[in-house]
A and B are shown apart, each in its own frame.
Chain A
Amino acid sequence: MSEDGRVSERVQTEALLTIPDGLYETIRRHGERTYPHECCGVLLGTSSEDGNTVEDAVEAGNTRTDSAHNRYSIAPQELIRIQRQGRERGLDIVGFYHSHPDHPAQWSKTDFEEAHWIGCSYVITNVEQGTAQVTNSFLLNGTSEEDKRFEDQRVVVAKPALSGGVRDETRC
């Protein structure tokens, strides 16, 4: 990654982010509700070699009240509570979501520098003038702070089991 935050090439991971359509819409609507501020939350689910599967999305408070239009931060105490709730349900933290008000759904230099949950999916929604547009997912891959990298991750939005199958796919 260059000093100005740009990457010379994009990499797409084979690992998918699978999310039920109800939760997909929930995290997008969250960004609309908090507009013009960034929303943020935690994705709970399970991980496998195929990727991360989301089973719940938990809203979190944005502690960056000083600059909420372009910054977010989740308090560790809140993560502990959410992680505990997940553990009781047999779920892990598999990712995080936040919104970019009037800004592309692409990770920024700040997003990258502040990303430390290797193996997790970072989901970003562009909320344009109060309406959710594109939602993209980026897998934080690597083995350490020194070789971590974001990789574009395909999002599979799944219908409920009753209906079966996959409604559509959003390729980022």
Chain B
Amino acid sequence: MKIFIPTPLRVYTGKLNTVEVGGATIQEALGGLTTQYPDLRKHLFTDDGKLRSFVNVYLNDEDIRYLDAKEQTAVSDKDSLSIIPSIAGGY
């Protein structure tokens, strides 16, 4: 399946904006990503293995936080993951 990499993280994927990974679940797919590109791990996950609070991951168009099985949700080659850091602000 494809994982779409946001602009700020492409420096860790050899400038690739899309990475192909295997895996039967979201967790396996993300694990495959950080195995291929270990420098990504600290930018995506806290020390205890949870997604950093400002990192949003979408399975197709759904936030994985709100999926019943969360990271254990099954995925297929037709699915895609998007990593989207939060964008917000104000004065």
B90 touches A111 (CB 8 A): yes
Chain A 34-48 interface mask (CB, 8 Å, partner B; 1/0): 000010100000010
- Which of B56, B85, B89 sits near A110, CB closer than 8 Å? B89
Known: A110-B91, A144-B43. A116 touches B85 (CB 8 A): yes
Whether B91 pairs with A64 at a CB distance below 8 angstroms is: no
A103 surroundings in chain B (CB, below 8 A): 91
Q: Which residues of B contact A115 (CB under 8 A)?
A: 89
- Whether B90 contacts A71 by the Cβ 8 Å rule is yes
* Size of B's binding interface in residues, CB under 8 A: 23
Considering only residues 43-77 of chain B, those with a C-beta below 8 Å from chain A are 43, 52, 54, 56, 58, 61, 63
Name B7's contact: one of A47, A76, A77, A108 (CB within 8 Å): A47
Q: Contacts A76-B58, A92-B7 known; A108 to B17 CB distance under 8 Å?
A: no
CA distance A115 to B91 in the complex (A): 13
Q: B81: shortest Cβ distance to chain A, in Å?
A: 10
A54 within 8 A of B: no
- Which of A23-31, A79-87, A158-166 faces chain B? A79-87
What mask results when residues 1 to 40 of chain B are scored 1 for a CB within 8 Å of chain A, else 0?
A: 0001011100100000100000000000000000000000
Partner of A100, one of B56, B85, B91: B91
Q: Which residues of A contact B43 (CB under 8 A)?
A: 144-145
Residues of B within 8 A of A (CB): 4, 6-8, 11, 17, 42-43, 52, 54, 56, 58, 61, 63, 82, 84-91
